[in-house]
Structure 1
């Protein structure tokens, strides 16, 4: 999108410069000059034409960001008036030196001067418009990046809070397993610290992070929880910590230390699409309400997706009252399912 906007800006500038070169050509034709002579008029006008290039880019690159954006309006006016005086002085001298231009009737030359002066104002306004548009786009981009970082920073303590709660529960009845859990948590926090700040991380690292989380949870629910992971090895990169909220949610609503429970998660690639799916059984058919099934993690994920991808590049499907089988020969049972499909990020 950024590249497309840059191309549009360049195309608009090229059109403006093309229109500028048409003025001396059409003026010469209207005064009775031949096509060949009119083309020579254009050639002779090139040095004069460069003055307008200077005016435009002086405003676009210098005057606007340093004067207009800083509300130094009088300096903006003085700078452009000085350039305007220089331009008109050059116009008078240059047209007097070149016979083909001096033969143009004085009335026509006056019209040319007015037309070019009018075009100069349009160029200044165009420079202002383009610069303001570019500035607004930059501010919007910076706001989006800041929002992404805020959401990522919000996710980290949320994840840590939930994980420490699980380790605390584990410590009450299995101190040895708690040591293993703390060591695994250390690896996970290292990933959050070093990979979480990056815009993209290898898919293999993201899947390994989720596997560590699953193994951590398996320690707590070893007697009741049946977990099936089907993570295909896929090359590419994804935003870090993108899927953990869905996995956390599955354990939140599907794990139980008193009743048999099932969780299944898969990661596959289909063409340009990456698909992560997770489902959990509902112990005692305890279907979470819409309010319960959301929370910080899922709302955070929805917002991150809206900032990272255009609507056509991702699909998040959460079904709170689905039914599915968690193994061959097992009957279907109420389940909470979540599927996230995203398009691969292009490098």
Structure 2
């Protein structure tokens, strides 16, 4: 009898968990629903971080029509350079920063993205490697990315780059670092013409919110977000004033920053902080284009851009914005 009771309790608990997950999945656009979404995942400590680093990112392959080379970055780590065939010299360039919450990820995972972006926009793309937290908290990652931007400018003649047409972009934590690089570059007088922020992680104070309006239930959760910010800042997020350039949304004066494109799904945990940053950029006189994708959870296009038309369009909207800004 006791065994039967335990089995019944386990079955009831499983049914309840599946019902909760079904409610979380209900707002997701049908073409974005995959079996993997039924498995709750979160990065919350050393064990899950180690597992995440083994699983993510899976290296991708560059598309045809683009030459790829690896270069060492003075004062930083290394970077991959993507040059499309027939590119006009001098021309525009984009410094790209990969995502992963500042705690996982590598530029090898973005070979397909960066090469496709280079070919689509006709620009040079430089995808930088940076040191990860918690082993290397702020400002290590930002220093590595800023070094890559300075290097890109210093080698503009070799790369065939017009220094007035250099942009910075990134996704998720790469968007965090991209926004921070842009702010630091503005303060240090390093030219940046445009910023492309793809569902960027901008505000550590999001960890203080209890009600996320049903957002953040998939892929990147409040639990993962709290852990990642804690690793990156080396302190409890959302409380004490962070160091300068550590949290882009905490900057009070956004005047003079370059034009921006910000894209995010309406189910993404970062939805509200991204739209607030866009609002503040606009209020400060910075031209900003915002794309909010219905039924999209965090980073959905990474796996689904090849099969879901909406995700292909979302990605290409960013490509088009970069191309127009650097034309």
TM over 0.5: no
| Higher normalized helix content (fraction of residues) | 1
Higher-Rg member (1/2) = 1
- Normalised to the residue count of structure 1, the TM-score between the two structures is 0.28
TM-score when scaled to structure 2? 0.29
